[in-house]
A and B are shown apart, each in its own frame.
Chain A
Amino acid sequence: MPGITEHRPNPEDLLRRIQADERRERRGRLKVFLGYASRVGKSYRMFDEGRRRKARGQDVVVGAVQGEITPDIQDILSSLEMVPMLVEKHGGAAYQVIDLAALFRRHPAVCLIDGLAYFNPPGSRNPERWQDVEELLDRGIGVITAVNVQHIREKQDEVEKIAGKRPSVSVPQAFLLEAEEIEVVDAPPEALIDRTDGVAPDSRRLGELRELALLLAADVVDRQLQDYLDSHGIAARWGAQERILVCLTPRSNAAAMLKSGLRNKRRFHGALLAVYVDQHPLAAEDRRRLDEHLALARQMEAEIHTLQGDDFVDTILGFAREQRITQLFLGHSNRPWTFRLNRNPIERLIDAAEDFDIRLFPHPEAR
């Protein structure tokens, strides 16, 4: 999951956060219902929320509806105020477009926009509908909208692998990350199949899309948690995600550790990090080995960090805590542990590791 698992606050991150906070104060609140297929019930849940908010006294209007409107949705819509969509003809095709000008004039507290992933006809103010939504938000209008995982740009390679085709319209993942709230709309694939007439969607594909949507939501939530902790100055040593740190040294069994790390990352949908502590100049042979290990780590898409520190153990411990590591992978040396006055680094790490597990890997020559 590139771009969304890194947790280290750096200056750019902080600046981004401050700018986001400033913009957020003026901006309307964005809520996104996230689903994995049409018919999971996103539209119903979205309009139902609009209905409940209106009942609580909020100024709610509907800015966009889409597709076939089921009787239960029609029921809700009849109790809500609508700003009708415009129909624009272009090149023989008719497009339904949000009436931005009318919404700006009406300026409700909350605007419901069903179907976020749509093109506007050529020559429109914005090429895509999510950009229309940005404009509503910029003018202080809150928006509740709905989108499927298929339409999230950064997920479309995976969607194409699952479904065999790639939707032409997309919404950037950053749009989702900027939302104040996302809500997952989940339902078993069987429920969708029951509702279709004749055409039987493939439940395996639906299951895979469902998993993709859930994992995307988990990553967004993880990011929100991290943002919250950072902005409140809370240094948490825990997380809901499995995070594996492989400790690279020239003589360790890096291949086995990285391979197992990758497997754990995939099975837990967690993060894989690799670290090297740069202490003193290495002999040529050790340098060569280490470079091989680092290349392998890159190949396995581990997030690689080189740390400076006088004390190997303290450096690793500090980094592992800061990164909310849950498992630390170490290769054990071939040297015996007994009869030495100074405890070796592995023993010291075991003694000090209170927040994460330590997994010791056999030395390659041991097999």
Chain B
Amino acid sequence: MSAERRGRLKIYLGYAAGVGKTYRALEDAQALQQQGVDIVIGYFEPHGRQDTIAKTEGLESIPRRTLAYAGSQFQEMDTAAILERKPAVALVDEFAHTNVPGCERVKRWEDVAALLEAGIDVITTMNVQHLESLNDQVWHVTGVRVRETVPDWVVDEADEVVLVDLPPDALRNRLERGVVYGTEKARRAMENFFVETNLTALREMAIRHTAHEVEEKLAAAPALAPSTPAAGESSPPAGEPPGRKERILICLTGSPSSAMLIRRGKRVADYLQADCLAIHVARNGAGREDVERHMSFARNLRIDARIVEGEDIPRAIVEFAHRERVTQIFMGRSTPPPWWKPFQETVVQQVVRHALDVQITIVAERRRPA
């Protein structure tokens, strides 16, 4: 598996089906082939769009493999065949796709990682709503809970993230003309997901996220001349104490709302370039299965997640925070005390009382208004 060089990953980032991500990726592919680069289409989703299909002309495609699952036939990317063929560049559509059970890997981004590992460059496409850290925000705005997600670090590690932009009016025009979906599907899409407010909000997220990726790359690259300040607002603010790096601690429970807490804490940590830790204080074995799920979710997002044994939950949290030099604790809202114990302190209250020197963030559950 040891390739001399890891392949480069380029992601075309959009905000909805039909903005033209695949088209742009295919334009790239055509240009590369003209320059004599050995490029293949590893996976392409035509959606019956004529303009896009026309752009594949003259490009070599690796046939998909067909798998049977639950009595139906599914077509998936044939990663093994691409590895065998070993082109310089592979175009792989729909980065966030989840493979049908029975494939070697669960997610397409894992298939892409295997191609990169083998030294193959990959050009891929995804929408901003598939980013794990935006999952709750997207749900809050659109009412849609996106199931196929990609951890943020996978996107952060891409060599290039390029925005594919299109004004929402133009996208809705495309829908009306039946370019994106067939007409009945288009009508339903227009009434639901493709309403103007959704599209505009998602578009803003896509633009902001691309700006964030550009900024991260600039921060990682060595500065040319010390006299060149970073771009305007992004320059390190004067008077910000150097040295003490922020460390964020997320307090996990078995509650379903912990998933939201993990995403929110990690997102803030990423933007503040802070370390991110998570703990669960285990008093007894109860609810362990839910906790384990949250722990592995956190670890997938590259959070340092640990289980601590302790009888007194608030005390264990505060002790851990002090020991690990945590600067900010993220917690969910505690359930209010029962009516017969109105003076009983909640976990949040106790942590606040014990950790007077640490910032504490109580994360809202952001329910959607009905």
Interface residues of A (CB under 8 A from B): 1, 31, 157-158, 161-162, 180-188, 190, 202, 204-205, 207-212, 214-215, 217-218, 221-222, 224-225, 228-229, 234, 236-241, 259-260, 262-264, 266-269, 327, 332, 336-339, 347, 350-351, 353-363, 366-367
Contact = CB atoms under 8 A, between A and B. Distances in A.
A209 B234 CA distance: 12
B359 A361 contact: yes
B114 to A, nearest CB: 24
A222 B204 contact: yes
Contacts of A351: 333, 336
Nearest to A350: B362
A366 B214 contact: no
A266 B207 CA distance: 16
- Of B140, B141, B228, chain A has the most CB atoms within 10 Å of the CB of B228
A211 B215 contact: yes
B271 A268 contact: yes
B366 A339 contact: no
A204 B201 contact: no
Interface in B22-50: none
B231 A212 contact: yes
Interface in B327-370: 328, 333, 336, 343, 345, 348-349, 352-353, 356-367, 369
A65 to B, nearest CB: 22
B345 A337 contact: yes
Contacts of B224: 202, 204
Contact of B352 (A218, A267, A337): A337
Sorted nearest first, the 5 A-B pairs with minimum C-beta distance are: A158-B232, A208-B231, A240-B204, A214-B211, A366-B356
Given A211-B214, A225-B204, A238-B201, A183 B363 contact: no
Contacts, number: 181
A347 B364 CA distance: 14
Given A188-B162, A228-B197, A366-B356, A347 B349 contact: yes
Contact of A184 (B137, B207, B234): B207
Contact of B357 (A259, A262, A362): A362
B237 A262 contact: yes
13 contacts: A181-B170, A204-B218, A204-B221, A208-B230, A214-B163, A214-B207, A336-B353, A338-B345, A354-B364, A354-B365, A355-B364, A357-B264, A359-B360
- Of A1, A188, A190, chain B has the most CB atoms within 10 Å of the CB of A188
B272 A237 contact: no
Contacts of B228: 162, 204-205
Nearest to B351: A360
A205 B232 CA distance: 12
A236 B140 CA distance: 10
B237 A218 contact: no
Interface in B158-176: 160, 162-167, 169-170
A204 B229 CA distance: 11
A130 B214 CA distance: 30
Nearest to B274: A267
Contacts of A337: 345, 349, 352-353
B361 A358 contact: yes
Given A162-B231, A214-B163, A228 B200 contact: yes
Given A181-B170, A355-B364, A208 B218 contact: yes
A211 B365 contact: no
Interface residues on B, range: 35 or more
Interface string B60-88: 00000000000000000000000000000
A347 B264 CA distance: 21
Given A162-B228, A350-B362, A360-B352, 15 more contacts: A181-B167, A183-B166, A186-B165, A187-B162, A211-B218, A214-B207, A221-B203, A221-B207, A228-B197, A238-B141, A269-B233, A354-B364, A357-B363, A359-B328, A360-B360
A101 B290 CA distance: 72
Interface string B124-154: 0000000000000100110000000000000
A188 B366 contact: no
Nearest to B200: A225
Contacts of A212: 231-232
A27 B87 CA distance: 52
Nearest to B212: A269
Contacts of A262: 237
Contact of B162 (A31, A186, A205, A225): A186
Contacts of B110: none
Contacts of B239: 259
A238 to B, nearest CB: 5
Contact of A359 (B162, B343, B353, B359): B359
Contacts of A188: 10, 160, 162
B288 interface: no
B233 A357 contact: no
B275 interface: no
Contact of B204 (A186, A218, A350): A218
Contacts of A237: 369
A228 B196 contact: yes
B339 to A, nearest CB: 14
A339 B343 CA distance: 6
B52 to A, nearest CB: 14
Contacts of A208: 218, 230-231
A181 B369 CA distance: 30
B32 to A, nearest CB: 12
A212 B234 CA distance: 10
B364 A357 contact: yes
Contacts of B231: 158, 161-162, 208-209, 211-212
A214 B210 contact: yes
Contacts of B272: 263-264, 267
Contacts of B190: none
